[in-house]
Chain A
């Protein structure tokens, strides 16, 4: 079976223009040779810090931005070779959800008009009655009521708005959804609702997700596979379980170690990364991480490490990883004691009582 989405050598350099004549004075190398693939019904998370190029990758895949180089194959077909009209037709199969539910919904459109627009554009509901029925169905899918169609976005809370954005994405029955930080702007208890909704919709419709996030803990709960990016390149990819069990790249390990655990008793070694992320306009030569890497050596300044797959779908862009000590201590620290058992029973009671009530 061939992958739903195959991306090879994806590259985007933004020209930096200066002065009155708009002369190009340099390039921001936002994405620099990224390869990955995504199967039907699978979730690939792209994680990294600001400026690593993760959002740009999402936009390149959807051709919201034109890549400088590379290939994007959707269902075996090269998207970059398509003309505007053909691309418009393909977009029925791919959709997007943004981070900020306050910016992603037009404040002057009713929910019904907003959901009706894609239906009309792609000719999915021929009659007014069919459209209204489909809009009601979409709203129910995301846990809202059909009569919400008459309302405006400002009448909804942040979590509900994100549900509306999901409903809009679902309207055209896509096969792939690119979700760019979809829960980052939401409160924790609301985050859980939206993540759960996305998971259940995935199981129901066999959706594939590209889930772009800076939050490793969120990613752990939704992704099947994870790609970690640093300064425009993927430094490590693996299945979620594998990545959290045995992170290999020094950057991945540092990222995991830096996440504060909601557990005051956790004792972790904290190898702090020093310094700031270098500018993507002028990335360091050799391994891009070497300026902050706690275990960098002389060769790292010169040689660009390749992303090498170990044959078990775990690829690392650091040739020295086999020499590092195991890192499982980073993520599994919770012990089993009296308090923990009590807390788990309480939480289980919380959930079941909540379910009974509703």
Chain B
């Protein structure tokens, strides 16, 4: 079971419709992102200017790079020699543009050659595996350990007849291996993906699979890598030439010029300065272009439309309706104030070059000690964002508004320090995938002990004993021994038990369980749900259970809040919600679940999809998919109204009995 993280889906959902409008090739999107990036454009302009200089520059002067002017030895820049002359009277301008030309040609050729070699070797090794892979990777390892600089310096001068072409070959020979390794590992993971399996299954030829299915998916890496290669090759060439192993006289490159000029750099700076300056500018420009390409090719870096200005964003619904914010009253439980009190919680994600995405809009919640509140909704409903907000774990680009009071302390705007004190002591966490929630390199017991000692002043020894008690409490057999195990040595169910042990370690008042059993098998899920209920009864902890599974909610929750498009659309005691739903979305959702206890020929589904959160509808957010919609629904957002004691719904047409008339 693979329930993708909701955060991701929020942005997906936000992206998709807008992109559908653009609906054209990726290349155009990439280009548009690239040209709106000022530093990348600067890099391109500088690079173009340098290439122009390298290839047109030599024709602008009548001096040749090799012929000396005996009347001007070490002459300073003047009208006759624009950039001066060197120790034997050669024109520095002519030499530098010639050297630049050489260096640029070598750099670009090396970049192209080594990218081609690396992609051929890397994809072949990754695709065919087995002996092909082992042989090619042996070759790569061999070339990597050889002292390349030494070999080139020995071989290169002996190949004088073929000159710089041989140099390109040599630098390429020792320059493609790292790229090939990366290409291989990328290929390995792409070949595992189902679309390649599908293509293989159709009988597509391996060469065609590599060209059509593998290469396009690593193209962005290759393009970026090629720019880095070009810069590196120029540096390698320069270093070789500097030591006299690269381009040989009478030809020049930036490297030979810098080598010749260093001796006189103090007294006659022009002999050194121009070549060194151009080298630095060239490498910088190449890197700027590389960075620009990386940003442009990364699909997560923006949707490719012009950014909407902040003031285009629709105002939060609270200010539209005025009546939307009402406290949601939980069930009356003997005892004092709620342990968790949320008022008008709003979370908005801001990303570069994207309109702000309001993920949660005006959530009110009260949670009492010992209560289990189920928060249900589909992807993009905002349920996981709500839980992250409660935990103070939202990413940096999230703007939170409203109030979250946990045992009397304000969470919104709390300092990191205060927040980490609250987490663990007041609020515990159980995530969907415990494998990613434990650090793989530390023993489970040590990690739980660390959580204990972070909040309690107890000795190592006592912490250790407490860990064993906790593991025993969550039903891990042989706890003293299992405390020494590493996370990967536990099965999924055992890890989730250990995660629960960690969550209850400091006796929190509230546990947030975000899809705690979604990654587990059904028989293991049943064990974990039972454990959570048992612990809740023993410890009196309140639980917020976030899930998409209505079966889990029915079994666990006392109270249920149904979320849709960032809002609570219905809240009721669990029996009322399942027996007498009062919101059309809940009705549709209950109808669409395949269930064991009945069999219908056709499963009713809710047609359509969740609204684009960057442009939420004016009125009711479910209106576009609601079969019971009235014109009034589309005009104004409906308030949350109480239709029965403790039963609230955000529907104008409630009680729904009237639609049956």
A, B co-complexed: yes
Interface-located stretch among B165-173, B397-405, B602-610: B602-610
If A150-B23, A189-B606 touch, does A350 touch B627 (CB 8 Å cutoff)? yes
Q: Are the CB atoms of B660 and A265 closer together than 8 Å?
A: no
Q: Are the CB atoms of A346 and B299 closer together than 8 Å?
A: no
**A107 CA / B217 CA spacing, docked (Å):** 8
A121: chain B residues at CB < 8 Å are 202-204
What mask results when residues 331 to 351 of chain A are scored 1 for a CB within 8 Å of chain B, else 0? 111100001101101110111
Chain A residues touching B, range: 35 or more
Q: Is A307 in contact with chain B by the CB < 8 A criterion?
A: no
A-B pair number, CB within 8 angstroms: 261
Q: Are the CB atoms of A168 and B198 closer together than 8 Å?
A: yes
Q: Is A27 in contact with chain B by the CB < 8 A criterion?
A: no
Q: Is A16 in contact with chain B by the CB < 8 A criterion?
A: no
If A262-B578, A332-B597 touch, does A346 touch B202 (CB 8 Å cutoff)? no
Looking at B299, B526, B575, B594, which has the most chain A CB atoms within 10 Å of its CB?
A: B594
Q: Are the CB atoms of A272 and B526 closer together than 8 Å?
A: yes
Looking at B4, B217, B605, B627, which has the most chain A CB atoms within 10 Å of its CB?
A: B605
Q: Is B417 in contact with chain A by the CB < 8 A criterion?
A: no
Q: Are the CB atoms of A185 and B591 closer together than 8 Å?
A: no
Q: Are the CB atoms of B202 and A117 closer together than 8 Å?
A: yes
Interface-located stretch among B51-59, B501-509, B549-557, B642-650: B549-557
The answer, among A64, A260, A266, A339, for a CB contact under 8 Å with B200, is A64
Q: Are the CB atoms of B523 and A258 closer together than 8 Å?
A: yes
If A276-B494, A357-B627, A358-B607 touch, does A100 touch B194 (CB 8 Å cutoff)? yes
The answer, among B23, B197, B599, B656, for a CB contact under 8 Å with A220, is B599
Q: Are the CB atoms of B212 and A109 closer together than 8 Å?
A: yes
Q: Is A37 in contact with chain B by the CB < 8 A criterion?
A: no
CB of A145, distance to nearest CB on chain B (Å): 11
Which residues, 557 to 609 on B, are CB-close (under 8 Å) to A?
Answer: 574-575, 578-581, 584, 587-600, 602-607, 609
CB of A46, distance to nearest CB on chain B (Å): 15
**A23 CA / B299 CA spacing, docked (Å):** 42
Q: Is B493 in contact with chain A by the CB < 8 A criterion?
A: yes
If A91-B203, A98-B194 touch, does A265 touch B548 (CB 8 Å cutoff)? no
The answer, among A117, A185, A193, for a CB contact under 8 Å with B605, is A193
Q: Is A259 in contact with chain B by the CB < 8 A criterion?
A: yes
Nearest to A169 among chain B residues (CB) is B198
**A199 CA / B24 CA spacing, docked (Å):** 33
What mask results when residues 291 to 307 of chain B are scored 1 for a CB within 8 Å of chain A, else 0? 00000000100000000
Interface-located stretch among B14-22, B139-147, B177-185, B270-278: B14-22
Q: Are the CB atoms of A270 and B526 closer together than 8 Å?
A: yes
Q: Is A277 in contact with chain B by the CB < 8 A criterion?
A: yes
The answer, among B4, B199, B627, for a CB contact under 8 Å with A185, is B4
A157: chain B residues at CB < 8 Å are 12-13, 16, 609
Interface-located stretch among A7-15, A210-218, A316-324: A210-218
Which residues, 478 to 526 on B, are CB-close (under 8 Å) to A?
Answer: 491-494, 521-526
**A339 CA / B589 CA spacing, docked (Å):** 17
If A154-B19, A214-B1, A261-B554 touch, does A103 touch B193 (CB 8 Å cutoff)? yes
**A229 CA / B204 CA spacing, docked (Å):** 32
**A258 CA / B526 CA spacing, docked (Å):** 6
**A109 CA / B214 CA spacing, docked (Å):** 11
Looking at B198, B217, B379, B521, which has the most chain A CB atoms within 10 Å of its CB?
A: B198
Nearest to A159 among chain B residues (CB) is B609
**A352 CA / B516 CA spacing, docked (Å):** 36
Q: Is A254 in contact with chain B by the CB < 8 A criterion?
A: yes
B579: chain A residues at CB < 8 Å are 265, 339-340, 343
Looking at B16, B213, B299, B523, which has the most chain A CB atoms within 10 Å of its CB?
A: B523
The answer, among A181, A221, A262, for a CB contact under 8 Å with B590, is A262
Q: Is A192 in contact with chain B by the CB < 8 A criterion?
A: yes
A91: chain B residues at CB < 8 Å are 201-203
Q: Is A303 in contact with chain B by the CB < 8 A criterion?
A: no
B204: chain A residues at CB < 8 Å are 117, 121
Q: Are the CB atoms of B605 and A350 closer together than 8 Å?
A: no
A334: chain B residues at CB < 8 Å are 597-598
Q: Are the CB atoms of A187 and B550 closer together than 8 Å?
A: no
**A262 CA / B200 CA spacing, docked (Å):** 40
Nearest to B577 among chain A residues (CB) is A264
B327: chain A residues at CB < 8 Å are none
Looking at B494, B607, B627, which has the most chain A CB atoms within 10 Å of its CB?
A: B627
Q: Are the CB atoms of A192 and B607 closer together than 8 Å?
A: no
A152: chain B residues at CB < 8 Å are 26
CB of A217, distance to nearest CB on chain B (Å): 4
Q: Is B378 in contact with chain A by the CB < 8 A criterion?
A: yes
**A265 CA / B555 CA spacing, docked (Å):** 9
A224: chain B residues at CB < 8 Å are none
Q: Are the CB atoms of B525 and A276 closer together than 8 Å?
A: no
**A172 CA / B580 CA spacing, docked (Å):** 47
CB of A106, distance to nearest CB on chain B (Å): 4
Q: Are the CB atoms of B216 and A189 closer together than 8 Å?
A: no
Q: Is B641 in contact with chain A by the CB < 8 A criterion?
A: no
**A264 CA / B589 CA spacing, docked (Å):** 16
Q: Are the CB atoms of B524 and A276 closer together than 8 Å?
A: yes
> Known contacts A109-B216, A196-B602, A216-B522; can you find 15 more A-B pairs with CB under 8 A?
A150-B24, A172-B202, A184-B1, A215-B594, A217-B551, A221-B599, A255-B522, A258-B522, A260-B552, A261-B595, A266-B554, A334-B597, A349-B627, A350-B591, A354-B604
Q: 17 A-B contacts, Cβ less than 8 Å apart?
A: A108-B216, A118-B202, A154-B15, A159-B609, A168-B198, A191-B592, A192-B606, A214-B521, A217-B594, A217-B595, A220-B595, A262-B550, A262-B578, A277-B521, A342-B660, A343-B580, A346-B656
